Every structure is written in C-alpha cells, then in structure tokens.
Chains A and B, each alone.
Chain A
C-alpha cells in the first residue's frame, strides 16, 4: 500500500482492516489499539476472524456467505473480540467488498460499542428487575388477600405457600412450628411434599432439619444452593429430591415462632432477589401466625374470665347457704328464749353448718390446687371396704332418717390409692345421697371386684328424684354452667364432684353416674386393684 494511503488510514479514528482470502493484509493504527496489540505486524497474516470471540465467529461466517451472494451488500454486524490480555470488547463492524493490489478484498471498519452495550445491558437488567418487582408485588397482593380471607390460619398458611411456590417456581414449601420440646412440627405444606404419607403433625428434631433447623436456631435465613447427594439434608426423608433449599425464620413479635423452608430440584436455584421476596412473604406469614396466636390467647382469657365468673357465682352460693343458717339460728338464740330442746337443735344446726362451711372451704382449696396442678395423691395398698364401713357407720349414727343397705360382698382385693382422699371422695358421694334422698329413703352401698377392668367398684345409689342426662353431663365440671336451656340457672353440684373426679383420676380410677328419670341416682367409683406379690407371681407363672 502506498505510504500516503497508509498515513490517511492510520490517522482516522475508525478501525480499518483489509483482508484478502479471509486473511488480514492491512490493519490501521486504531485497529491495533482496539485489539490491544503492540504493532500491526501482530495482525497481518492472521485469519480475519482471529481476534473474534470463539462463540461469535459464526456471525462473521454468515456475513461472508451473504456477501458472496450479493456483492453490493453492505452488512453491519455486532460481535465481540478478545484481546491478548483476555479482556473482551464489543464492536460493530461494516464490511464492503473492494480490491487490494488487484485482488478482491474485504474492507472492514469497526466501532467500539462496549460502553453503549454495557449501558444497554444495564437497562435490560433494570427492566428485568422491574418485572421481578411487579411479580413480587403481585405475589404480595395475592398473599395479602389470602391473609385477610376468612379461612383458618392453617389453611391460609397453606394457600400462601402455594402462591409462593407458583411465583418463584420452586418445588415445595413447608411451614414448621416448634412443639416446645425440641422438635419442629409441620404446620402447613405445599408442592411436592410427603404430607399425604405422614400425619400433618410430622415432627422432626430441630437439629435434623438442615436449613430449617439452622434458620430456626440462628434466627436468620440459610441458603443451601447445592445439596450433595448423601449430604446432611438428604438424611431427612421429606427433603428427598431437593437440590437447593432456603430456610427462613418467621418472627412473631420478638420471637422466632416458625420456620419456612422452600426447596427446588434445581441446583443454584435461589438468587438474592428471590430470598428477599421469600423474606417479605415470611414477614406476612409471621403476622398471620402471630395474630392467630394473639387471638387464641385472647379467646382463652375470655373463656377463663367466664369460668371465673361462674366459679364466683357458685362459690358465693355455696358459702352463703351455711352462713344463712349460722346467722339465722345465732340470731334466734340471741333474741329469744327458746325451750331447751329447740335451743339444743339450733346449736346443733349451727355446729353442722360450721362444719359444712369448713368442708366447702377445703373443697375450694382442693379445686384450686387441682386447677393449678399442684395436688398430690399417695399410692399405697388400701382396703376400700374398711373405709366404706367406717363412713356408713358414722352416717348411720348421724342421719338416722336414712337407712343404709349394704350389699353382701365377697373377699375384695386391696386397691392402689390414697386412703384419706378415698375417704373424702366416698364421704362426698354418701353425703350427696343423703342430701338428695327423701327422709326414710334407702341408700344402697355395694362393693365388687371387676376382674375385667382390674378395679374395685363402690356404688352408692339414692332414691332421689334423679337427673336429666344434661345434668349428668355437667356434674363433674368445676365451673361450667352447662346447658341452661331448661331452667336458665346454675345447677348446683358445687365443687365436690369435680374434686372427687379429679382425685380418683389421679389414682388411675374413674367416677361414673347413672340416673333414671323415674328417680334414683347411682354414683360409682372404680379404683385399680393393687397387685399383691403372690398375684404378680401367679401372672408370671401363667
């Protein structure tokens, strides 16, 4: 090439190259600079696509083929070139056919568009980001709709998990909550889960749960984008097939109240924006669960208040009844001068009502201790027949108005229980029988060994007016008003039967009631038989 032409081509800013038969025969100074070369000689003789990025070479081939078909064609193409130091630049090239030293040649001019490209890429990424944010918003709006919906907390949670999976394209999501004993229970799940194979309350130790366990313990999100087969998480059956997992703690107030685990079968699935979307969803779930929790404790408190009101009404009634007589008879004694017989009976009445009041206070203390779970019963061999005989003897003397009928009984085994407490329970039953039987009525007391149940059963039957099934149902409840449809009034079993039931149940026994509408009520208690050494041995030999 003549020097003047060379000088002109070197002086212009565009990259100019000429190739003959697909090999470079001329490059200008700008070309050398763009390609990061030291001198033009490094390019001359090389293939015309020598500096093009491997995966972009086909673009040039297409160009060449097109130009061979139509010689007037001027083609623009964008591709990437690689410099000797490995850096990549984007260029836009225009090729036209020319001649070089008489031979057909290709003149290519290139412009460096790296900066423009980067800006375009940035714009495209921003557009993607915007699209993702719209997706996020859609997901959050849909979740907000579910959260304010009428369903149960568990069902709403499950629907949230479904939306979550759909929006991010994951394969499964599980929400777990702690059971308070070092394990996490599955609360809700969506996607490919083993929920059908397992009961809903499938529980796993916190330490066995991989990302869930870590997220719960550490209180921050844990991402494991590449589960290795046979790795830690794969020991957990419910994670089978998942190659990437995220565990997110769910906060309710200040506490971690649950953990959300999302899984994908695709390694490297979870990106940062995705984790922040999950985080936002996790916060919504936290609000849902926390509100449900608050609502539950509020309802619990309200029902406790109602029970307390009932308790106060019953307690007040129970205390006022003996006090009425204590006050009334004292006043009669103080104000007048009754004859000796009347005076004696009034003193006796005051005495009996004082005892009754003491008993009621004891019962209230027992009931309160039972409610607080701090009552203890002894467990030693006891002869129920001895206790029954002692009480019946006492009552026969105190209540000559009633006749006690003791059914004949065979030899009875001892039971395992608390002798004082059994005395208390039986006194309560016999006291009720006396109270509810008409004067001159029979009170039937029977004892028998129920071999099939392994209990000794004491039954006390009165000849009272009987009880409706509804009354029988609420008899053993402490402060329940029960069904008030008929009389709209507290029925007055007091606390005695509640205490009695609690005590026999603490001894492993039961209390039952059977009543005929025509009249007569039978209360029975069954207490487990104590195993004598001889008996145990016999069972062993058998």
Chain B
C-alpha cells in the first residue's frame, strides 16, 4: 500500500530533492506543487494523505495554506509536515498553531524526513482505512 504525498515548494530543486528522497523509500506516490495556490488546488481536487509544505513562498505562504486546508472539512484530514528554513521558535510555534502536524527545519537529512513521516504513520494509516 502506497501513501499519497504532495510536495509543495517554490524551489524547483527542493521539489526534485524531496521527491528523490521519498522515491528511494519506495512507499510513496508523489505529486508536486510549485506554489501555495497550486497546493490548495491539488488538495481540493484530490486530497493526499500527506502534504510536505514549504513555509516561505511568494504569494500564498505555507502558514496560510496550512490554516486554509485545516479549516476546510474536505482537506482537514490531510497530515501536514511543514518544512521550512525559518527555524526560529516563533515560526515553529506559528506553524503548529496553523495546524501543522510536524515542523521540520531545513536543512534536513533523508533519515530525519523519513523518521518524521514514520512517527506520523499511525495517523496516516488511520486515514487510509
């Protein structure tokens, strides 16, 4: 059983990097979005089980996207990991307050990313059922 994941980041290279990390794990079905609005559109069209969401993006930023998805019944079940280079405590708190299930500071290694996802697996499989 594969887990559907959407990766949203305005940096093209981050999208390929995170995708490559997930692909190597083999459990994921990966889609990408290159800005906040694209992420919202993709989630509304077909909610993934997991969203890896960048914090700072031009236009609609990750914090706003997170809040919007968590407050809409159709998308509130998506597990969201925010990954951001904004690492100050205030931003971590802001991400969690926006409804993120985990806040992953950049830079991160593949084991850290996969570990964070594994920690959220019970929640993910619950949704899958």
Contacts and interface: CB of A to CB of B under 8 A. Distances in A.
Contacts of B20: 332, 338, 342, 346
A491 B86 CA distance: 11
A328 B11 CA distance: 14
Contacts of A325: 11, 13-14, 17
B86 A436 contact: no
Interface stretch (A88-96, A144-152, A312-320): A312-320
Interface residues of B, number: 30
B21 interface: yes
Contact of A321 (B11, B24, B64, B109): B11
Contact of B58 (A327, A336, A464, A488): A464
A382 B55 CA distance: 41
Contacts of A489: 55-56, 61, 63-64, 86, 94
Contacts of A488: 63, 94
A515 to B, nearest CB: 11
A217 B40 CA distance: 70
Contact of B59 (A317, A352, A465): A465
Most B CB contacts (10 A, CB to CB) among A323, A325, A353, A488 go to A325
B73 interface: no
Nearest to B94: A488
Tell which of B11, B61, B85 has the most Cβ of chain A within 10 Å. Answer: B85
B85 A316 contact: yes
B122 to A, nearest CB: 27
B110 A331 contact: yes
Interface in B86-129: 86-88, 91, 94, 105-110
A464 B24 CA distance: 33
| Residue among B24, B56, B108 with max Cβ neighbours from chain A (10 Å) | B56
Contact of A324 (B56, B88, B94, B106): B106
Interface string A292-334: 0000000000000000000001001110110111111101100
A324 B107 CA distance: 4
B20 to A, nearest CB: 5
Nearest to B24: A336
Q: Is the interface of A mostly helix, strand, loop or mixed?
A: helix
A324 B58 contact: no
A335 B113 CA distance: 15
B75 interface: no
Given A317-B85, A321-B85, A465-B58, A335 B110 contact: yes
Contacts of A316: 85-88
Contact of A317 (B14, B58, B64, B86): B86
B17 to A, nearest CB: 4
B35 interface: yes
Nearest to B12: A439
Contacts of A317: 56, 85-87
A467 B59 CA distance: 8
Contacts of A490: 56, 86
Nearest to B84: A317
Contacts of B13: 325, 349, 352-353
A321 B106 contact: yes
Contacts of B18: 328
A487 interface: yes
A523 B76 CA distance: 39
A491 B110 CA distance: 28
Interface in B1-22: 11, 13-14, 16-18, 20-21
A530 B108 CA distance: 51
B85 A324 contact: yes
A492 interface: yes
B85 A320 contact: yes
A332 B14 CA distance: 13
Interface in A471-519: 487-492
Nearest to A325: B13
Interface in A204-232: none
A125 to B, nearest CB: 70
Contacts of A326: 107
A345 B60 CA distance: 29
Interface string B55-72: 110111101100000000
Given A465-B59, A488-B63, A332 B21 contact: yes
Nearest to A471: B58
A487 B94 CA distance: 11
Given A465-B58, A487-B63, A492-B56, A328 B17 contact: yes
Nearest to B57: A492
Q: Which 4 A-B pairs have the closest CB atoms?
A: A320-B85, A324-B107, A324-B106, A328-B17
20 contacts: A316-B85, A317-B87, A320-B85, A320-B105, A320-B106, A321-B11, A324-B106, A324-B108, A327-B109, A328-B107, A328-B110, A329-B17, A331-B110, A465-B35, A487-B60, A487-B61, A487-B63, A489-B56, A489-B61, A489-B94
Interface of A: 313, 316-318, 320-321, 323-329, 331-332, 335-336, 338, 342, 345-346, 349, 352-353, 436, 464-465, 487-492
Interface of B: 11, 13-14, 16-18, 20-21, 24, 35, 55-56, 58-61, 63-64, 85-88, 91, 94, 105-110
